[in-house]
Amino acid sequence: MDGPIAVQPLQGDITFTQVLDWSIIATRLLQFAAALILFGSSLFYLYGLSPTSAAGPGISAPGTASAPGRRLLLLAAVVALASTILWIMAETAALGADSSDSLRPSALLSVLSQTRFGQLAATRIGWLAISISAAVALPAGKRLWIVQSVFGGALVASFAWSGHGAMNQGTARIVHLGADVLHLLAAGVWIGALLPLSMLILRSLRTQALTHARQGAHALTRFSGVGLAVVATLILTGCVNSWYLIGPTHWRELFTSPYGLMLSMKLALFALLLLLAAVNRLRLAPQLRTALLKPAALAVALRRLRASLIAETVLALLVLGLVAVLGTLAPPVSR
């Protein structure tokens, strides 16, 4: 998954430059994380929780998670909006002749209207304003989840147009951009589901209610159903991206260049994520379903799932952090 292409920072005071670079990376990380949560969590509420008739006896309808789900999506949209604004301010300071440009309306307006990344950011701000309005105005439920998943998906996909794929021309541009979009959306489906899943498991641990545990087990089963397609999409599109960014003639730079080393770390963390996901699917989720028939073992099964989901979430955040850094580095094929 590519991050936005970095704007060259100001030369001069190294301390200011370092602060500016890390501010841009931090705001990108917040944008990525919040956008993926907005998209993936709203989708999860659509497919992960079913009405009683479809889910089985004792499993509550989607409205059970409405209040915390609505708050989660509202928070994600607000964080995405705030981080997008801060990102534009940092990029404006990097482009300008003075650090105070980030606070001057005329400089900010110039960046928003005259640069590609500024125009993309302005579009994202508009989408997020609609998303926040929907989270406030619409009652929690299917309509809200649909609206948020549509705008969240558009927000996530838009990062492809500020990534390295947008620099290609002709067929390469179409293929690379398409792979970027699919990669980003698949990451959103996976990463965005981790928080609502964790919330269900934590609620089950807190209440020790069998109905809540059944809902958690059902949600895990539904999430596992899309997991294989998500993983396959991530691997396939990741290979396409690597072909365009590393290329067969630069593979040694995976172990020597800053970009290659960061990408190698990202791949290693992704492998650990796959391992954890496999453990959840093949071992912990079946243990939870078995524990539903043996309530004495329920707490142990839920605690193991909680630990695994927390570890998966931490690894996902580390991956996003590396993605934010990768966006500031030139890939081998560009040199």
Q: What is the pLDDT of residues 97-138, one digit of tens each?
A: 566 767 778 888 888 888 888 899 999 999 999 999 999 999
Structure pTM?
0.86
The range of the structural domain enclosing residue 123 comes to 14-334
pLDDT above 60 (res 316): yes
Q: What is the pLDDT of residues 259-308, one digit of tens each?
A: 889 999 999 999 999 999 999 888 999 999 988 888 788 899 999 999 99
pLDDT band, very low/low/confident/very high, at 4 (cuts 50, 70, 90): very low
* Residue 236 domain-assigned (yes or no): yes
* Residue 90 domain-assigned (yes or no): yes
* Residue 235 domain-assigned (yes or no): yes
* Residue 58 domain-assigned (yes or no): yes
Q: What is the pLDDT of residues 133-192, one digit of tens each?
A: 999 999 888 899 999 999 999 999 999 988 776 676 778 888 989 999 999 999 999 999
pLDDT given for residue 10 in this prediction = 42
Across the chain, mean pLDDT equals: 84
Structurally, how many domains does the chain consist of? 1
pLDDT given for residue 297 in this prediction = 86
Q: Are 222 and 43 a contacting pair, CB within 8 Å?
A: no
Q: What is the mean pLDDT of residues 84-101?
A: 80
* Residue 8 domain-assigned (yes or no): no
For residue 320 the two structure tokens come to 């996003």
* Residue 1 domain-assigned (yes or no): no
* Residue 178 domain-assigned (yes or no): yes
Q: Name which of 32-41, 252-261, 326-335 the model is least confident about.
A: 326-335
Q: DSSP E strands: which ranges in 46-192?
A: none
* Residue 4 domain-assigned (yes or no): no
pLDDT given for residue 97 in this prediction = 57
pLDDT band, very low/low/confident/very high, at 9 (cuts 50, 70, 90): very low
Which of helix, strand or coil describes residue 3? Answer: coil
pLDDT band, very low/low/confident/very high, at 3 (cuts 50, 70, 90): very low
pLDDT above 90 (res 27): yes
pLDDT band, very low/low/confident/very high, at 209 (cuts 50, 70, 90): confident
Distinct helix (H) and strand (E) counts, the chain? 11, 0
Long-range contacts made by residues 56-63, C-beta under 8 angstroms, separation at least 24?
A: 56/214, 56/218, 58/210, 58/211, 58/214, 59/211, 59/214, 59/215, 59/218, 60/211, 60/215, 62/141, 62/142, 62/145, 63/140, 63/141
pLDDT given for residue 335 in this prediction = 59
pLDDT given for residue 257 in this prediction = 85
pLDDT given for residue 36 in this prediction = 97
